[in-house]
């Protein structure tokens, strides 16, 4: 296979990174929904969403903006990624939330809140990909987490403070567990994800596709999340089998067809760097 173009900007991660390969997998969509469920369990963090946006009416737009940010920071140029990060930091600086119990007003760019959102997101990506059969070894997983100190910096975190391996991430979740609760905002997110409002023409698709995806994302959460939400999940082995079946089915769709969906970041990266930049598990051993 031809080498990538050496004169083109590979971006923050580049074609030799674990991130470049993993983020091209279709199970990232289910992982993203799992991240939303997990993020909503931090009361201070979820208020930053519910008090600053009408996510019920713009949930799809919000999801696409998040996907766009991940795609840009993964496959865009360095300039594109830095510009996207600066835009996110600017928005966060302008927004705050209020604790309804104490009346405290706080900024949503507090490092502790940014850290939770980051770890819940990156941890969900890694968890769903590995559990669904994507071939990431323990060493790959640690490399992936270390690479995402880049994305943490973009949203305003000190990279040195961000977990850079599986042990660090597990320790972070163990420390943060006592801060989590399923308050009214978390249940609002849960209700929405289970039954989002859609136009009448899309109601059959919601029943056929979306609910299955959302249920699978929820079922893949850790046991403490199920306890907080108050809804049980199937046995872990059952969930793992469903994740693997879903992963196999989605990965059976030709990548070039999947990548035609907007915003087409992967195709843009391959145009910029050459066909050898094509992401996939075949590159992980390099």
- The stretch 138-155 carries a mean pLDDT of 98
pTM of this prediction? 0.93
As to burial, measured by CB atoms within 10 angstroms (0-12 exposed, 13-18 middle, 19+ buried), residue 101 is exposed
Q: Residue 1: what pLDDT?
A: 41
pLDDT the model gives residue 196? 75
pLDDT digits (tens, 9 = 90+) for 104-132: 999 999 999 999 999 999 999 999 999 99
- Residue 247's pLDDT is 98
Please say if the pLDDT value at position 56 is more than 70: no
DSSP assignment of 157-205: --GGGS--SHHHHHHHHHHHGGG----HHHHHHHHHHHS----GGGHHH
């Amino acid at each position: 296979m031809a080498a990538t173009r050496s004169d083109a900007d590979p971006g923050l991660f580049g074609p030799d990174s674990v991130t470049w390969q993993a983020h091209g997998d279709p199970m990232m969509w289910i992982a993203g929904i799992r991240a939303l469920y997990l993020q909503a369990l931090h009361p201070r963090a979820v208020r930053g969403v519910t008090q600053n946006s009408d996510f019920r009416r713009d949930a799809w737009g919000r999801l696409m903006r998040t996907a766009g940010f991940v795609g840009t920071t993964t496959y865009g140029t360095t300039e594109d990624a830095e510009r996207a990060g600066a835009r996110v930091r600017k928005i966060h600086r302008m927004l705050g939330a209020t604790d309804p119990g104490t009346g405290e007003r706080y900024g949503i760019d507090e490092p502790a809140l940014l850290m939770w959102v980051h770890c819940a997101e990156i941890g969900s990506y890694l968890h769903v990909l590995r559990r669904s059969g994507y071939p990431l070894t323990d060493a790959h997983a640690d490399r992936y987490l270390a690479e995402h100190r880049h994305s943490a910096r973009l949203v305003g975190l000190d990279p040195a403070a961000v977990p850079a391996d599986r042990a660090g991430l597990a320790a972070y979740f163990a420390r943060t567990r006592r801060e989590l609760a399923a308050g009214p905002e978390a249940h609002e997110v849960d209700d929405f994800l289970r039954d989002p409002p859609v136009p009448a023409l899309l109601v059959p698709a919601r029943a056929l596709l979306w609910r299955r995806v959302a249920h699978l994302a929820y079922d893949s959460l850790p046991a403490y999340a199920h306890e907080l939400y108050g809804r049980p999940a199937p046995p872990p082995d059952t969930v793992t089998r469903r994740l693997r079946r879903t992963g196999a089915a989605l990965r059976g769709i030709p990548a070039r067809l999947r990548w035609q969906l907007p915003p087409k970041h992967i195709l843009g990266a391959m145009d910029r760097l050459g066909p050898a930049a094509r992401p996939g598990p075949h590159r992980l051993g390099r």
